[in-house]
Chains A and B, each alone.
Chain A
Amino acid sequence: GESVGLHLPTLSVQEGDNSIINCAYSNSASDYFIWYKQESGKGPQFIIDIRSNMDKRQGQRVTVLLNKTVKHLSLQIAATQPGDSAVYFCAETYQGAQKLVFGQGTRLTINP
């Protein structure tokens, strides 16, 4: 069945550097992808999404890149701040599914 996974379970970056969190998916029918941020003790918070008719989408300090050829998704965070410390999940689904498949998450820690 389909699965969504992350290349690295943990990522440690210096404050001010850019962070890149990766995600691989296996269902070639997936056409909608979401990144969530989950801080300790809180529910996942929507960050940014992208549909399969795009390969890049930018938000405030975040960019999502989609490579459908290799079924890869990434989240780039510019100028990482202490408040970015969290677990980041990717999720994928396809038209009509109404169910999201979540990756296991990557824990991002910021070094001062």
Chain B
Amino acid sequence: DVKVTQSSRYLVKRTGEKVFLECVQDMDHENMFWYRQDPGLGLRLIYFSYDVKMKEKGDIPEGYSVSREKKERFSLILESASTNQTSMYLCASSLGLAGGRTDTQYFGPGTRLTVL
């Protein structure tokens, strides 16, 4: 079974703090993703990565950055947390099929971040 883990289930930070959210997958997947989930807005893609040291902006990258130094680990960074970044953050990974065929994304349990 695919296992995607996230470093924290709940996190409380103060405005202006630098926040790191860590995600690890154990299935040697090529692709990794960070989403945020808010009531009424559904899942929105922040950043994704096709390979080590590669990253692509998603639909809402502002205020976030990412790091992928190792294949299994994908970090989401909030450089200066703000209250509007209070949300559920979900990490996902997918195998990465040859020929550009899209494949299934598997999600971690989520990190509920509160910024005070």
Do A and B come from the same complex?
yes
A93 vs B50: C-alpha distance when bound (angstroms): 16
A98 vs B101: C-alpha distance when bound (angstroms): 8
1/0 per residue B28-64: CB within 8 Å of A?
Answer: 0001000000001011010010100000001000000
A95 vs B101: C-alpha distance when bound (angstroms): 5
Residues of A bordering B, CB below 8 Å: 31-32, 34, 36, 41-46, 49, 89, 93-100, 102-105
User: Besides the contacts A32-B102, A43-B4, what 7 more A-B pairs have beta carbons closer than 8 Å?
Assistant: A31-B102, A34-B104, A42-B110, A44-B107, A93-B102, A96-B102, A103-B42
User: How many inter-chain residue pairs (CB < 8 Å) link A and B?
Assistant: 53
Residues B107 and A45 in contact, CB atoms below 8 Å apart: yes
**Residue count of chain B within 8 Å CB distance of chain A:** 23
CB distance from A31 to the nearest CB of B (A): 8
Residues of B within 8 A of A89 (CB): 42-43
Residues B42 and A99 in contact, CB atoms below 8 Å apart: no
A41 vs B90: C-alpha distance when bound (angstroms): 11
Chain A residue with Cβ nearest B58: A99
